[in-house]
Amino acid sequence: MELSGKCVLTGVKPTGTLHIGNYVGAIKPAIEMGNRVIENGGKLVMFVADYHAINFMKDPERLSQIIKEAACTYLACGLNPEKAIFFRQSDIPEVFEMTSLLTNFTPKGFMNKAHAYKAAVDKNVAKGEPNDAGINMGLYNYPILMAADILTYDSDYVPVGKDQVQHVEITADIAGAINACYKKEVLKLPKAITQENAAVLPGTDGRKMSKSYNNVIPLFADANEIKKAVMSIKTDCQDINAPKNPEDILLYQIARGFCASELVQEIEEGLKKGGMGYGTIKKMMAEAIANELAPIHERYMDHMAHYKDVEEMLQLGAQKARTLAKPVLENLKATIFNK
Ligand code: TRP
């Protein structure tokens, strides 16, 4: 992929407790891609999507806490705030102006088909409730706000999880509709980037690692908690000396998704030959994972303890972001109003 001079943008939804599946599947690849684009003379635009978060979190104290946590997580995981443009979504008024303009070019049918809304309707139907029971316009319009996030900065690439691809496609469709309407390229069509070969990291019970399954290895925990989670990884009762196919062994799948290649290889050989017990493997993994996470955890705690500095840095980021946003919005308004 040609990254030179491009703009990579992504929004981080504050979700509360994160696990190593979020780290390998979303946080790390987005930061790595961002670093690559910066090295190639392009831009990394990254923000905490705090307006999107209102939809599922209405407790002000908890909301501000998860926003803080999200910002500190990305910094701890290696986002360089001097090189990237890192800020809070709500500090950019241009995005909200953009959202209002975009609504006029967005077919209502697009929103009916957006997966988060559809899932909420399906739930209501299953419970025998009216289709739109408990559904607010924030949820319904979620993809338009996301489109504004993306289009306001002239983004080229948007690294996202598979569940967000539809939203980026809707964004490109809205931009395409505007360009077609005014017969010129007013807005840039973005492209979603997903990690094709990133295997979904399984959780301790073998299902996808997810907070809702209670099967996670936490990203920010002390060595003991990490050990407890690793020790709870499900194993079978094959004989310790039996040669095994590593692909069939959950421990190996988790190690491969997270641990350094030397350890993965050692486990692979131990399983193939037989003789390496699951308990031994778990101990090795718990130690390796705790070691790997320790510096990230430390940086995270440090940012949380000095959140004022983080806030200042986010404000600087917002200034930079607005410099990008203003001309894009002005250009769109000039086109629409023939100014
Ligand atoms: N909707 C995304 C999520 O749920 C977060 C997000 C908001 C986002 N705005 C964005 C992602 C713009 C990419 C681009 O994870």
Closest approach atom of ligand 1 to CA 155: 14
Contact 33, 159 (CB under 8 A): yes
The residue among 215, 176, 301 whose CA lies nearest residue 19 is 215
* pLDDT tens digit sequence for 259-270: 999 999 999 999
- Residue 180's H or E segment, with its range, is helix 165-182
Closest approach atom of ligand 1 to CA 167: 1
Closest approach atom of ligand 1 to CA 142: 1
Residues 6+ apart with CB under 8 A from 20: 201, 209, 216, 217, 218, 219, 258, 289, 293
Q: How far is the CA of 97 from the centre of ligand 1 (A)?
A: 18
* 121 three-state secondary structure: helix
Contact 90 CB / ligand 1 (< 6 Å): no
Q: What is the pLDDT of residue 37?
A: 96
Q: What is the pLDDT of residue 198?
A: 63
Q: What is the pLDDT of residue 199?
A: 62
Mutate to test the pocket of ligand 1, among 8, 9, 10, 33 (most ligand atoms within 8 A of CB): 10
Nearest protein CA to atom 12 of ligand 1, as residue:
11
Q: HEC string of 209-271? A: CCHHHCCCCECCCCHHHHHHHHHCCCCCCCCCCCCCCHHHCHHHHHHHHHCCHHHHHHHHHHH
How far is residue 92 from each of residues 148, 180, 317, 329, measured CA to CA in Å?
Answer: 11, 27, 10, 12
Low-confidence residues of the chain: pLDDT under 50:
none
Contact 284 CB / ligand 1 (< 6 Å): no
Q: What is the pLDDT of residue 69?
A: 96
Nearest protein CA to atom 3 of ligand 1, as residue:
13
Mutate to test the pocket of ligand 1, among 164, 165, 193 (most ligand atoms within 8 A of CB): 164
Q: What is the pLDDT of residue 25?
A: 87
Q: How far is the CA of 95 from the centre of ligand 1 (A)?
A: 13
Q: How far is the CA of 57 from the centre of ligand 1 (A)?
A: 16
Contact 304 CB / ligand 1 (< 6 Å): no
Contact 88 CB / ligand 1 (< 6 Å): no
Q: What is the pLDDT of residue 320?
A: 98
Q: How far is the CA of 133 from the centre of ligand 1 (A)?
A: 24
Q: What is the DSSP string of 7-44?
A: EEEEEE---SS-BHHHIIIIIHHHHHHHHHHHHTT-EE
Q: How far is the CA of 85 from the centre of ligand 1 (A)?
A: 16
